[in-house]
Amino acid sequence: MEMFCLKCRKKVDVDNNKIDESSINGRKMLRASCPQCNSGLAKFVKASVSL
Ligand SMILES: [Zn+2]
């Protein structure tokens, strides 16, 4: 999966197996570390919310 690294200032390709899925306040969040600079990446994804 492609995630944007703020430190590298570019999109990096993250191994899907290394992505951590968690949810905060009902929002799904993906966590991973940059394969190039090893800094933490976080990305919010649209969760399927049922109101
Ligand atoms: Zn990076």
Enclosing domain of residue 22: 2-45
Domain count along the chain: 1
The Cα 51–Cα 41 span in angstroms is 29
Q: How far is the CA of 21 from the centre of ligand 1 (A)?
A: 19
Q: Is residue 7 part of a domain?
A: yes
Percent helix, percent strand, percent coil in the chain, to nearest 5: 5, 50, 45
- The answer as to whether 50 is a domain residue is no
- Assess contact for 14 and 43: CB atoms under 8 A: no
Residue 29 domain flag: yes
CA of 12 to the centre of ligand 1 (A): 7
- Ligand 1 centroid–CA 1 distance in Å is 14
Q: How far is the CA of 8 from the centre of ligand 1 (A)?
A: 4
5-49, pLDDT tens digit by residue? Answer: 999 999 999 999 999 998 878 888 999 999 999 999 998 887 665
Cα angle 48, 12, 7; round to 5: 105
pLDDT on residue 48 = 62
Cα of 6 vs centre of ligand 1, distance in Å, is 7
11 falls within a domain: yes
Please give the Cα distance from 49 to 38 (Å, whole number).
32
- Does some domain include residue 6? yes
Residue 51 confidence class, pLDDT cut points 50, 70, 90? low
Task: Assess whether pLDDT exceeds 90 at residue 50.
Answer: no
